């Protein structure tokens, strides 16, 4: 007996996940929800959805789908809506899969408040929450977690992660599409209220791609942070004053005694790098993506070059065939092939009533490292320090 899932948000990113959730063998029924009716129609008219979708399960508002009898909701809406919608869904008795980040807002204090509410709502309602953090299921991360479980790293010494993504390399177009939707036009008005109060965000308010790899491998959380922000002359032109800095570098003291360096850069002269390296007393890992060389495992004997296939964890055969196809050459999808793993982890957790790997407690630790007070100064650099306290 499978579960029923409502898919909320069928834009560019939500559409990439819609078929994966529909095709999972443990999903019996899907609903479709979007404020833009043409997005629903595209899937409603697709014959391949007819086995699990009924026209009566099309919804034009989040309020409407909350009233329906789905076991879980997959929320892939605009990032400033994620936390509020997740809390409302859990309070309505539905398990939640949320796209990253937990929430994206200019105000760091507000981000932490929503992190608290996510955890409190999970604890109070008994509903499951999973963050769809793609780096967690990149092949490199899965491989490093296996090696860490074997003790191959020894004691962790240092980790570094980065998300280098120049705003001119696709991000400006992403922002344009977001703000052209109904929800986006509403956000323009809300965003102005933050700017009027002098509150600006920054790239470290969306840190999960760069921190989740090292943190999940080391099973450690951040206790102290110092962070520097940098901006070039004319940066106001890039984000219309919404962000204090395009580039931020942070140094963390971790709960296991290791040091972690994280870079979130949006003005840098290369297409994209979304990866990490981890160093231990016995072994070390160097991660590569499509633009950066080879993945390597190092120890005192030398190094081994690793293929993507040998780094991946296996999916159950039935799931792999349904979501990817036959053979190892199947299409795993974007973000390092993480999408089918995210879908399977959430569905399997709901079916078997267990906490998913990226549960609420894990997710908010990835977000909490993002917290800084970002203030606009006349200087081009700012040093921000804060102790990240456990609650």
pLDDT of residue 370: 63
Rounded to 10 deg, the angle between the 139-150 and 208-218 helix axes is 20
In the predicted model, is pLDDT for residue 379 greater than 60?
no
Closest Cα partner for 160 from 244, 262, 242? 262
Alpha carbons 365 and 371: distance in angstroms, whole number = 11
CA angle 274, 135, 321 (to 5 degrees): 120
**Does the predicted model carry a pTM greater than 0.85?**
yes
pLDDT of residue 327: 55
Residue 130's pLDDT band, with cuts at 50, 70 and 90, is very high
Eight-class DSSP state of 55? G
Q: Which helix (H) or strand (E) holds 87?
A: helix 82-91
Residue 359 makes CB contacts below 8 A (sequence gap 6+) with 122, 128, 129, 130
Alpha carbons 179 and 138: distance in angstroms, whole number = 29
Alpha carbons 177 and 152: distance in angstroms, whole number = 45
Backbone angles phi, psi at 99, to 5 degrees: -65, 160
In the predicted model, is pLDDT for residue 329 greater than 60?
no
- What confidence tens digit (pLDDT) does each residue in 189-239 have? 888 899 899 888 888 788 999 999 999 999 999 988 888 888 887 666 556
pLDDT of residue 14: 94
What whole-number percentage of the chain has pLDDT above 90? 69
Peptide bond into 53 cis (omega under 30): no
What's the token pair of residue 238?
């890039």
Rg of the chain's alpha carbons, rounded to an integer? 21
pLDDT of residue 383: 33
- What confidence tens digit (pLDDT) does each residue in 20-57 have? 999 999 999 999 999 999 999 999 999 999 999 999 99
pLDDT of residue 201: 83
What whole-number percentage of the chain has pLDDT above 70? 90
Lowest pLDDT segment from 184-193, 206-215, 340-349: 184-193
Lowest pLDDT segment from 161-175, 295-309, 323-337: 323-337
What's the token pair of residue 62?
């989040």
In the predicted model, is pLDDT for residue 128 greater than 60?
yes
Tell me what the pLDDT averaged over the chain comes to. Answer: 89
């Amino acid at each position: 007996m499978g579960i029923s899932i409502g898919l909320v948000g069928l834009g560019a990113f939500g559409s990439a996940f819609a078929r994966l959730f529909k095709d999972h063998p443990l999903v019996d029924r899907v609903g479709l929800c979007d404020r833009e009716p043409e997005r629903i129609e595209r899937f409603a008219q697709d014959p391949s959805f007819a086995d699990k979708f009924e026209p009566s399960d099309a919804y034009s508002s989040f309020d409407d789908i909350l009233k329906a009898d789905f076991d879980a909701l997959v929320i892939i809406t605009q990032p400033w809506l994620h936390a509020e919608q997740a809390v409302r869904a859990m309070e309505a008795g539905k398990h939640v899969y949320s796209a990253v980040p937990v929430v994206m807002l200019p105000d760091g204090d507000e981000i932490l408040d929503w992190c608290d509410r996510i955890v409190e709502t999970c604890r109070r309602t008994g509903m499951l929450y999973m963050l769809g953090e793609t780096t967690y299921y990149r092949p490199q991360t899965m491989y490093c977690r296996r090696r860490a479980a074997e003790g191959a790293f020894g004691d962790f010494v240092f980790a570094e992660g980065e998300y280098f993504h120049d705003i001119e390399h696709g991000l400006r177009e992403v922002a344009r599409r977001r703000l052209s939707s109904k929800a986006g036009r509403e956000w323009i008005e809300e965003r102005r209220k933050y700017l009027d109060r002098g509150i600006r965000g920054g790239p470290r308010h969306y840190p999960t791609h760069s921190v989740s790899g090292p943190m999940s491998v080391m099973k450690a959380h951040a206790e102290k942070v110092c962070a520097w922000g940098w901006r070039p002359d004319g940066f106001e032109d890039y984000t219309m004053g919404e962000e204090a800095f395009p580039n931020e570098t942070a140094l963390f003291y971790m709960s296991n005694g290791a040091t972690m360096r994280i870079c979130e850069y949006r003005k840098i002269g290369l297409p994209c790098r979304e990866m990490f390296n981890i160093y231990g007393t016995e072994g070390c890992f160097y991660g590569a993506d499509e633009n950066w060389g080879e993945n390597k495992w190092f120890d005192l004997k030398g190094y081994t070059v690793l293929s993507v296939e040998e780094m991946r964890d296996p999916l159950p055969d039935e799931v792999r065939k349904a979501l990817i196809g036959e053979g190892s050459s199947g299409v795993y999808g974007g973000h390092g092939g993480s999408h089918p793993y995210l879908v399977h982890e959430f569905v399997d957790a709901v079916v078997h009533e267990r906490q998913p790997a990226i549960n609420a407690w894990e997710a908010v630790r990835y977000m909490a490292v993002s917290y800084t007070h970002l203030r606009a100064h006349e200087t081009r650099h700012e040093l921000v320090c804060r102790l990240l306290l456990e609650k």
